[in-house]
């Protein structure tokens, strides 16, 4: 059965239907214990993707062209290995949840060691430095991806209806946003050594909490109950799914298409925001942390509010509301110009609120797709492996789409040419609006549009 085609008239069933707020609760303490690992995973991502290139260029004099080629190669390898890591994650879950936690602990140690050795390499110049960076980046990305996929899969296996699934994802992504805010402040305020220490403490706390979180029981994994307490039974009775299994699921293909359209729409402004702030708004550099901080803090604060909307409208409709808000906000941003820094703070706040739906809802929708296909407990790793591959591909496509277009229309950083700045505005504001509109149309056509009653009647989205 395809849960994306379930008629919204069947309450509590399928992806488009709302679920009562109190029908499927997740205790806050259980959500916190599961979600805490999301904080260090988000904390480590920002320095690796944003600070590391600047650090190697400034501290070690690595040419930008060489550095760019190195990073692109390693990141493409990272994206390509995610489906394989997802397959391995499924095999680990087939042994037992405790095996997953133990292997996750080893991955966390590799992640921490790789992070520290990347910022404090023994070789500081020449080919030795490049070889060191390539090897350590590969290991660090692999550890990060395995830990992320296993953690996402665990949450999807906890079972339940829309309200419960959205809370599971909200705890993970909300605490992840706390990690992003900490990562944006700590290196500047306390320095890189303190950043490594804080990451070590956060990883230790997140891993210990994960080991004491709700464990997917065989009943929940099969779609017939919720998670058990610590020490839940192994899931070995359910063999791991095949690597290509998700692609046989039409619901997954449709959801992934919406996710990618929406993801590219979000990644384009993330790629261009500093160019827009510096050249279109001509805002002082001192305001850049205010813009970014406002964006992420508002995203974190909005998640509990969006969960209340989910209880009334359902996951898919709420995601559509978030898309509509983002379109309106970026349409307004297209009207801004020099001296409109205060208005852009409001843009950051509202677009951050819209971001809350992108963070909390698609993963919960995916968990419903897996459950409705009868594959919960044996194929989450395969699904999230391809899901993370798509996320990383979105970032690459955004840069590959937006930056060449800007160059084609004459934009260069620092320009004050009106035509070039107009091209920047179109790329930063209007291109994401067009992509969001396509995503919203796909969301309606493939997920929200009603289908005949016999299809709706066979949904197995809830136990």
Distances in Å between the Cα of 321 and the Cα atoms of 312, 324, 443 are 12, 5, 11
- Asked if pLDDT for residue 61 goes beyond 70, the answer is yes
Query: Looking at residue 241, what is its pLDDT?
Result: 53
Taking residues 396-408, report their average pLDDT: 74
pLDDT in tens, 270-305: 878 888 998 999 999 888 888 888 998 899 899 999
pLDDT band at 434 (very low <50, low <70, confident <90, very high): very high
User: So what's the pLDDT on residue 396?
Assistant: 72
**Higher pLDDT residue, 96 or 5?**
96
Say what percent of the chain tops pLDDT 90: 46
| Residue 9 scores a pLDDT above 50 | no
At residue 158 the predicted structure's pLDDT band, cuts being 50, 70 and 90, is confident
The full DSSP string for 351-363 is: HHHHHHHHHHSHH
Residue with the larger pLDDT of the pair 262 and 126: 262
How far is Cα 374 from Cα 365, in angstroms, rounded to an integer? Answer: 15
3 state SS of 60? coil
Return the ∠ at Cα 438 (arms to 265 and 427), rounded to 5°: 40
Contacts of 400 (CB under 8 A, 6+ apart): none
Q: Which residues are bridge partners to 215 per DSSP?
A: 228
Categorize the per-residue pLDDT at 24 as very low, low, confident or very high, splitting at 50, 70 and 90.
low
Residue 246 DSSP code:
G
* Average per-residue pLDDT for the chain: 82
Q: What is the pLDDT of residues 168-183, one digit of tens each?
A: 888 998 899 899 889 8
Average pLDDT over residues 97-108: 95
Residue count of the chain, please give it. Answer: 463
Q: How confident is the model at residue 397 (pLDDT cuts 50, 70, 90)?
A: confident
Query: What is the structure's pLDDT at 184?
Result: 79
Considering only CA atoms, give the Rg of the chain: 22
- pLDDT for 15 equals 41
Where is mean pLDDT largest: 40-54, 63-77, 136-150? 136-150
For residues 425-445, give the mean pLDDT: 95
Sign of the four-CA dihedral 37, 39, 42, 45: negative
Band the pLDDT of 262: cuts 50, 70, 90: very high
pLDDT-above-70 percentage for the chain? 84
Per-residue pLDDT tens over the stretch 330-346? 999 999 999 999 999 99
Whether 97 shows a pLDDT value over 70: the answer reads: yes
- Sequence-distant (≥ 6) Cβ neighbours of residue 342 within 8 angstroms: none
Question: Where is pLDDT greater, at 293 or 435?
Answer: 435
**Per-residue exposure over 44-69, b if at least 16 CB sit within 10 Å of its own CB, e if not:** bbbbbeebbbebbeeebebeeeebee
350-392 residue pLDDT tens: 999 999 999 889 988 998 898 888 887 778 888 988 998 888 8
Reported confidence tier of residue 399, pLDDT bands at 50, 70, 90: low
Among 34-38, 121-125, 228-232, the range with the most confident prediction by mean pLDDT is: 34-38
Question: What does the alpha-carbon distance between residue 276 and residue 377 come to, in Å, rounded to a whole number?
Answer: 45
pLDDT of residue 246 exceeding 50? yes
Tell me the C-alpha distance between 161 and 461, whole Å: 7
Task: Taking residues 45-68, report their average pLDDT.
Answer: 77
84-88, 216-220, 237-241 — which one is most confidently predicted on average? 84-88
**Which of 257, 316, 318, 320 lies closest to 447, judged by CA?**
316
Mean pLDDT, to the nearest integer, of 294-323?
92
Average pLDDT of the residues in 200-205: 97
pLDDT score for 237: 44
Class of 3-457 in CATH:
mainly alpha
What value does the mean pLDDT take over residues 82-107?
A: 92
- For the chain, the domains span 3-457
2 pLDDT above the threshold of 50: no
Between 440 and 380, name the one with better pLDDT. Answer: 440
For the CA atoms of 10, 16, 22, 26, the dihedral, rounded to the nearest 10 degrees, stands at 130
Going by C-alpha positions, the residue among 427, 185, 413, 412 that lies closest to residue 292 is: 185
Q: Is the pLDDT of residue 433 over 90?
A: yes
Is residue 262 within 8 A of residue 398, CB to CB? The reply is: no
pLDDT at 245: 87
Indicate the pLDDT class of residue 64, thresholds 50, 70 and 90.
Answer: low
Q: Residue 414: exposed, middle, or buried by beta-carbon count in 10 A (0-12, 13-18, 19+)? A: exposed
More reliable by pLDDT, 233 or 318: 318
């Amino acid at each position: 059965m395809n849960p994306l085609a379930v008629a919204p008239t069947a309450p509590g069933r399928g992806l488009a239907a709302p679920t009562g707020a109190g029908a499927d609760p997740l205790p806050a303490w259980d959500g916190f214990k599961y979600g805490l690992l999301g904080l260090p995973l988000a904390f480590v991502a920002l320095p690796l993707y944003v600070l590391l290139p600047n650090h190697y260029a400034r501290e070690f004099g690595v040419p930008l062209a060489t550095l760019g080629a190195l990073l692109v190669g390693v990141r493409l390898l990272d994206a390509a290995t995610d489906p394989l890591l997802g397959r391995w994650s499924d095999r680990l879950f087939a042994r037992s949840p405790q095996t997953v936690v133990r292997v996750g602990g080893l991955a966390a140690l590799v992640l921490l060691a790789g992070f520290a050795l990347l910022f404090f390499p023994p070789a500081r110049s020449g080919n030795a430095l490049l070889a060191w960076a390539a090897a350590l980046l590969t290991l660090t990305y692999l550890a990060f991806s395995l830990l992320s996929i296993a953690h996402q899969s665990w949450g999807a296996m906890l079972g339940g209806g829309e309200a419960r699934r959205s809370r599971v994802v909200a705890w993970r992504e909300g605490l992840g946003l706390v990690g992003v805010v900490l990562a944006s402040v700590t290196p500047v305020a306390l320095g890189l050594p303190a950043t490594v220490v804080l990451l070590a403490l956060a990883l230790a706390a997140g891993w210990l909490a994960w080991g004491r979180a709700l464990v997917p029981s065989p009943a929940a994994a099969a779609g017939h109950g919720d998670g058990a307490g610590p020490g839940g039974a192994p899931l070995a009775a359910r063999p791991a799914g095949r690597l290509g299994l998700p692609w046989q699921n039409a619901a997954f293909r449709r959801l992934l298409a919406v996710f990618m359209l929406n993801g590219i729409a979000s990644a384009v402004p993330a790629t261009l925001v500093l160019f827009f702030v510096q050249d279109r708004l001509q805002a002082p550099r001192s305001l850049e942390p205010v813009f970014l901080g406002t964006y992420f803090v508002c995203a974190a604060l909005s998640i509990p509010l969006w969960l209340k909307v989910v209880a009334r409208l359902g996951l898919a409709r709420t995601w559509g509301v978030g898309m509509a808000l983002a379109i309106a906000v970026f349409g307004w941003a297209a009207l801004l110009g020099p001296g409109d820094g205060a208005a852009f703070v409001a843009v950051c706040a509202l677009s951050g609120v819209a971001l809350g739906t992108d963070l909390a809802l698609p993963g919960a929708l995916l968990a419903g797709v897996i459950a409705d296909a009868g594959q919960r407990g044996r194929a989450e790793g395969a699904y999230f492996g391809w899901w993370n591959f798509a996320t990383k591909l979105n970032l690459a496509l955004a840069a590959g789409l937006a930056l060449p277009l800007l160059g084609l229309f004459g934009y260069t950083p620092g320009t004050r040419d009106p035509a070039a700045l107009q091209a920047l505005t179109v790329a930063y504001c209007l291109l994401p609006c067009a992509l969001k509109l396509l995503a919203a149309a796909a969301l309606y056509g493939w997920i929200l549009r009603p289908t005949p009653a016999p299809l709706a009647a066979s949904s197995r989205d809830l136990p």
